[in-house]
C-alpha cells in the first residue's frame, strides 16, 4: 500500500512518516510505503485515481480531488490546528503578530496551502489585491521530489521572495540561518480568531477503501495513534527517523520541532473542527452548502482515536 505526503523534510506530516519508518503500520499488518507527491492537490488526485491508498495532508485539500467531500473521508488527525508559519525576511523588519508586514510583499506559498493565508489576511482586514500582497508558489518548488519548506527558506535567503507561508521546518531553517523572522505561528495562538481550525494535518482515504476493507482503515488509524503515543513517550525517536530520511541539519532539528508539536498530537476530529473547516472552505470558494460531519469524517473509527 502507498501513503502520499506533500512534504518529507518537515514536521507537518511526521506522524505518518514515523508510522512507516518506526514500523507501526507493519505492527498493524499493513505494508505501507511513503510516496512524496507535491503539491498536496496532486496527492489527493493520486488517491482519487487509485495510485495511492492514503494521503497524509491538509484536511481541506481533500476537496481538490473530491468535490463536496464525495468519495473520500478523513480517518484521523495527525495533529490539531493549522500548522503553517508566516516567515518574513529579517530585512523587512517584521515583528511577531504584525500581519500588516505583508503589504506590498512577495509571499511564497504552495497551492491549496495559500488558501489558509489568504483567508487569514482577509480576516485581519488585509485585502491581498488592494494591499498588493503577491502570494504565489516559491520559485523552483513545483513537482514531486521537492520539499517546500526547505526550498522556501532557500528562496528567502536568496531574496527571491520577501516571506513565505510554510511548515515548521522551513521556518526553523530560515530563523537559524539568520535570514527569517517568524511573524505568525497559528497553532500557538497567532492570527485572527478561528484561523486555528481552518485545516489540520490529517489522514484521508477513499470511501471505497473503507467499504471494501474497514479493517485496513482501522489499522491505519491505530498505527497513527500508536505513533503519536510513541513520540510522546520518547521524542528522540524522531531523530532516528530524521537521520534516515533527512539531510544532516534537518535530521538534528526534527526532534525539537516534534517536541513543540506534541501538545497537538491528538488523533480526534471533532464536529466543531469540521464545522469551522467547512466554513473556511465555503469562504475560500471550494465548497458549497453544508456538509454533515459524518460525510466528512469516518466516524466509525472514532473509538480508536484515544
| Domain chopping of the chain, boundaries | 2-81+199-304, 85-196
- 10, pLDDT greater than 70: yes
Instruction: Give the pLDDT score at 147.
Output: 73
pLDDT band for position 229 (cuts 50, 70, 90): very high
Percentage with pLDDT > 90 across the chain: 94
Distance CA 188, CA 297 (A): 25
CA dihedral 188, 191, 197, 199 (to 10 degrees): -90
From residue 186, alpha-carbon distances to 34, 80, 108, 116, 146 in Å are 27, 11, 17, 10, 24
Instruction: Give the pLDDT score at 141.
Output: 67
**pLDDT average, residue stretch 10-18:** 97
Question: Which of residues 49 and 154 earns the better pLDDT score?
Answer: 49
Percentage with pLDDT > 70 across the chain: 98
> pLDDT tens-digit profile of 137-162?
987 766 546 677 788 888 999 999 99
Q: Could you give phi then psi for residue 54, rounded to 5 degrees?
A: -140, 155
Instruction: Give the pLDDT score at 278.
Output: 98
Instruction: Give the pLDDT score at 150.
Output: 82
- 216, pLDDT greater than 70: yes
From residue 300, alpha-carbon distances to 51, 76, 112, 227 in Å are 25, 11, 28, 20
Sign for the pseudo-dihedral over CA of 222, 273, 265, 85: positive
- CATH number for the domain running over 2-81+199-304: 3.40.190.10
- Domain 85-196: what homologous superfamily? Periplasmic binding protein-like II (3.40.190.10)
**DSSP-assigned beta bridge partners for residue 36:** 5
Q: Which stretch of 24-33, 43-52, 140-149 has the lowest confidence by average pLDDT? A: 140-149
- 102, pLDDT greater than 70: yes
Provide the mean pLDDT of the chain: 96
Instruction: Give the pLDDT score at 143.
Output: 57
Instruction: Give the pLDDT score at 140.
Output: 72
Instruction: Give the pLDDT score at 301.
Output: 98
pLDDT band for position 93 (cuts 50, 70, 90): confident
- 68, pLDDT greater than 60: yes
Q: What's this model's pTM, rounded to 2 decimal places?
A: 0.95
Amino acid at each position: 500500500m502507498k501513503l502520499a505526503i506533500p512534504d518529507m523534510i518537515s514536521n507537518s506530516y511526521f506522524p505518518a512518516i514515523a508510522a512507516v519508518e518506526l514500523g507501526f503500520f507493519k505492527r498493524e499488518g499493513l505494508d505501507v510505503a511513503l510516496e512524496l507527491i507535491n503539491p498536496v492537490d496532486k496527492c489527493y488526485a493520486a488517491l482519487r485515481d487509485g495510485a495511492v491508498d492514503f494521503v497524509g495532508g491538509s484536511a481541506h485539500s481533500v476537496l481538490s480531488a473530491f468535490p463536496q467531500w464525495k468519495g473520500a473521508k478523513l480517518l484521523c488527525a495527525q495533529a490539531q490546528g493549522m500548522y503553517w508559519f508566516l516567515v518574513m525576511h529579517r530585512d523587512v523588519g517584521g515583528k511577531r503578530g504584525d500581519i500588516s508586514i505583508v503589504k506590498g510583499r512577495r509571499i511564497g506559498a504552495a497551492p491549496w496551502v495559500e488558501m489558509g493565508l489568504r483567508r487569514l489576511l482577509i480576516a485581519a482586514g488585509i485585502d491581498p489585491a488592494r494591499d498588493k500582497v503577491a502570494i504565489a508558489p516559491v520559485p523552483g518548488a513545483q513537482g514531486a521530489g521537492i520539499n517546500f519548506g526547505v526550498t522556501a527558506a532557500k528562496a528567502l535567503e536568496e531574496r527571491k521572495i520577501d516571506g513565505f507561508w510554510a511548515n515548521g521546518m522551513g521556518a526553523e531553517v530560515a530563523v537559524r540561518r539568520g535570514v527569517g523572522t517568524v511573524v505568525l505561528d497559528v497553532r500557538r495562538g497567532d492570527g485572527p480568531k478561528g484561523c486555528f481550525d481552518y485545516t489540520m494535518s490529517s489522514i484521508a482515504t477513499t470511501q471505497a477503501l473503507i467499504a471494501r476493507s474497514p479493517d485496513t482503515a482501522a489499522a491505519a488509524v491505530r498505527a497513527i495513534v500508536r505513533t503519536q503515543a510513541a513520540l510522546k513517550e520518547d521524542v528522540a525517536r524522531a531523530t532516528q527517523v530524521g537521520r534516515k530520511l533527512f539531510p544532516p541539519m534537518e535530521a538534528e532539528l526534527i526532534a525539537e520541532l516534534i517536541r513543540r508539536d506534541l501538545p497537538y498530537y491528538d488523533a480526534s476530529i471533532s464536529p466543531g473542527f469540521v464545522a469551522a473547516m467547512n466554513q473556511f472552505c465555503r469562504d475560500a470558494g471550494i465548497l458549497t452548502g453544508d456538509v454533515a460531519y459524518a460525510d466528512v469524517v469516518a466516524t466509525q473509527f472514532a473509538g480508536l482515536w484515544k
